[in-house]
Amino acid sequence: MCEHHHHEHRDENNKIQIVKIILALILFITAMFSNITSTAKILTFLAAYVVAGGDVVLKALKNILKGEVFDENFLMVIATVGAFAIQEYPEAVMVMILYQIGEFLQDKAVEKSRKSISQLMDIRPDYANIEIDGKLVKVSPTDVKTGDIIIVKTGEKIPLDGTVIEGQASVDASALTGEAVPRELKTGSQAISGCININGLLKIKVEKEFGESTVSKILELVEHAGSKKAKAENFITKFARYYTPAVVTGALILAIFPPIVLHSEFSLWLQRALTFLVISCPCALVISVPLGFFAGIGGASKEGILIKGACYIEALSNPDSVVFDKTGTLTKGIFKVTAIHPVGVTEQDLLELCAKTENYSSHPIAISLKEAYAKEIDTENIKNIEEIAGNGVKAEIDGNEILAGNAHFMTMFNIELQKLQAPGTIVYAAKNKKFIGYIVISDELKDDAKSAIASLKSMAKQTIMLTGDSKTAADYVAQQLGVDKVYSELLPAQKVEQLEKLIENKAKGKSVIFVGDGINDAPVLTRADVGIAMGGLGSDAAIEAADAVIMDDKPSKIVKTILIARKTMSIVKQNIIFALGIKALFLILGAFGIITMWGAVFADTGVALLAVLNSLRALKA
């Protein structure tokens, strides 16, 4: 409702602006070409000036009262009032008309940028369906509580995060992930707010209230994305603060000293000084630089990449090192049984005993064993279960003592075995104090991880992996992917220490990027120059701890993020160089009287408009 109101308000303003420009042009043409008295001409020019520039004069006066004297409104007013004073009425009016046309076109360009981003992030749900007394009732998503059951029909947005308890459907998650391929949801699947139900009917048990939901956090993130300024934006703000008083002083010198020193006409140099002021308006820089960053953030969001502020675009564009967590970042975080090595028993017996022993554990290793066994487990004969966290499980199965765990766990029970090295996690097993074999469980590499590492190596000095996993597993993954350096068996605090060493040794002006899953790696994500969280869907820690969030699990999106950041920074630098270069040239030409005030307006408005249009290129990632 609020967005619709703002849209109507903008449309109304646009209509008023067009009417003002047309009316001012009619009055201007009347004064220029009609056969009326000189007094009537002056009054008609004055009326045209008030219609075209009345709001500019009012803004200048309000800002002066606030103590904000030197802005573009002040420059336009002093230049045009001065033109009236030296009886250059047509120039004064046309300056305002052309200025307003330029402002209108710039506003349309900025509106296009904002509209593109709002369309990309149009994920706010309007309502939620709750069943009350056998009837579906539409309520506000903010009124739904944790534990409530909501119903999502075909074509509707999923309003809150939860678990599907009934139904099956394909959902469009493109607004969150940037991926066009639909996701399949069924009973037991996690449903993420902001996705659109393409087909089917879903009953979802709500697990997070609206304020804590994925869609709410993303909207908050995008809303505040422009609050953290980049160095380039801060430079422009400071530059404008000193630049404007400097050009006003320069105009005064130009108006006063040459007539005295050269004994020439005062009106000639006053006109040049006024032209100098019109050219000097810094609007091209003030508008285009923030818009460039804003468009870059919009272009990234189109790809399912959320960047929290302009300052992070700057850091992302120039990496020294890209550092990765392993599990869930370069690998899928889905453990599977990849090898079974029995000793004195069959493969099936070894797998069955381990699956039964781990039956009551929720550890990913236990889950992978049960999935590999793929049969219903009869729990009647499983007794005296004892789980030692981080080591293994002891259980009595059919009267036999079964142990399943790591090498240290076997040592605790004096089981003789030969320690092995394998690219994964090894689960050793023993039956009645006798070693009966081992099972290797490995994490799968992500499909695009290898190509992503290859691309990143060409962009940064080095790629590094920090992981708490075993040296064997870490080295295997690093070798498969081509990672330059790997540090394994690290605790979270040790990861931070290692990252700090990299930050200390980085090249000047460059950044260290850390990529993690955002849950276990929150301290490292926070410490890095830029923290990128992978797979932000449903992960609160990812969105809160990281500076950028990739809304799917693809490492290739890290490459895309850096490329978008580089393109955005290139556009911003182009705007700064172009605007300052053209301004400098025209200021010199204006000071020597080579261009008139008409040319000055075209220079100012044209430069601003071209810079704004250049900024909009960042919307296309």
Q: Just list the catalytic residues.
A: 325
CA dist 368 and 244 (Å) reads 67
Which residue, among 110, 126, 123, 140, has the nearest Cα to 222 in the 3D structure? Answer: 123
SS3 category, 252: helix
Residue 527, number of CB atoms within 10 A of its CB: 17
What φ, ψ does residue 570 adopt, rounded to 5°? -65, -45
- Alpha helices of 87-185 — where are they, by DSSP H? 89-120, 174-177
CA dist 79 and 312 (Å) reads 39
Residue 1, number of CB atoms within 10 A of its CB: 5
CA dist 71 and 64 (Å) reads 9
Hey, what are 116's tokens? 């593109």
Residue by residue, DSSP assigns 344-405 as SS-HHHHHHHHHHHTTT--SHHHHHHHHHH-S----TTEEEEEEETTTEEEEEETTEEEEEE
Question: How many residues are present in the chain?
Answer: 621
Hey, what are 573's tokens? 């630098």
CA dist 363 and 450 (Å) reads 28
Which residue, among 222, 194, 17, has the nearest Cα to 100 in the 3D structure? Answer: 17
Task: Sort strands 434-445 and 425-431 into parallel, antiparallel or unpaired.
Answer: antiparallel
Residue 489, number of CB atoms within 10 A of its CB: 12
Q: Where are the beta strands (DSSP E) in 28-148?
A: 128-132, 135-139
Q: Which amino acid is at 55?
A: D
